[in-house]
Amino acid sequence: MENEKSCFWARFEEINGELHRFDTRIYLNQIEKISDSDECIGAIIAKNPGSAKNGKNSLGVLAPLKLDNDKLLPTIKNWISEADHNKKAGQYVQVLNTFYLCNPNLREAFDSIMNKEKIDKLKEKQKADRTNTKNGDKLKIEDFIAIDPAEKKSFPWVWIMWGGLSGLLADHQRCMNFLKSRFEHISNNVFYVLQNKDPKKTKIVEEIPANNICAKHSQGMQKGPAMEYLKNNIFKK
């Protein structure tokens, strides 16, 4: 029986009874198996894993994804493929997330990530940051979430598209901003789309977005400005 070919791969793990998705990859051409010679050409950072499911129902191994209405992965694959005229077999875009718990309901996901003790510690840290005082025991991201080892890779470029904080409870916003902070030095070449209703005023900003900024997700994103930037900057001939 031949191996299944796919552009979309990931590794699922069960941690404390909850499913997590790690090392998500968007290959620019279909492959039937992972190779150590595969090349990561860049990364995107979204808020949390989307709708794509474990296609092989296997844990602990990189396997093809079942998209299951996930729009982000195929959209990025199509845009990067269109912009990169020199794409080669085995090249892929790494997908990172602010957290890796598989739950499309953000409030439920944050309730799972946090408890009262963690909320109180985050409030103490926020107060200490405002008053420029020491915050006792330093908070660690690992105390809140499981980290994808793929975050340690080197990325030629990173496209931030984790969206905004609209609709999140105050404690959840506090948690999200804390989780995002670990990406401050993820790459020397970082950018995001600051979208305006008028496409002519939409900007590509080359820095980590501030906490109050919405780094536009691919859903509803104006393709034109993003594609122009990809072609003229990231994949310039």
Mean pLDDT of 135-155: 86
| pLDDT of res. 132 | 61
Residue 23 has pLDDT above 90, yes or no: yes
Query: Alpha carbon 14 to chain centroid distance?
Result: 19
More confident residue, 138 or 196: 196
Please provide the average confidence, as pLDDT, over all residues in the chain. Answer: 90
For residue 76, pLDDT over 50 is answered with yes
What token pair was written down for 161?
Answer: 């598209």
Report residue 234 CA to chain centroid gap: 18
DSSP H/E element including 196: none
How much is the average pLDDT of 18-28?
96
Q: How confident is the model at residue 104 (pLDDT cuts 50, 70, 90)?
A: confident
Percent of the chain with pLDDT over 70: 94
| SS3 state of residue 99 | coil
Q: Which range, of 1-5, 155-159, 231-235, averages the lowest pLDDT?
A: 1-5
Three-state secondary-structure class, residue 171: helix
Cβ neighbours around 74 below 10 Å, total = 15
Return d(Cα 185, Cα 48) in angstroms, integer: 20
Reference 63, options 113, 25, 107; nearest CA is: 25
Could you read off the pLDDT of 174-216 as tens digits, one per residue? 899 999 999 999 999 999 999 999 988 999 999 999 999 999 9
Higher-confidence residue of 122 and 37: namely 37
Which positions ≥6 away from 18 have C-beta within 8 Å? Answer: 101, 102, 103, 112
Confidence of residue 166 (pLDDT cuts 50, 70, 90): confident
Task: Compute how many other C-beta atoms are within 10 angstroms of the C-beta atom of residue 159.
Answer: 27
pLDDT at position 134 is 59
Query: What local confidence, expressed as pLDDT, does residue 130 receive?
Result: 65
Q: What is the pLDDT at residue 1?
A: 40
- Could you state, in order of their start, the residue ranges of all structural domains in the chain? 6-234
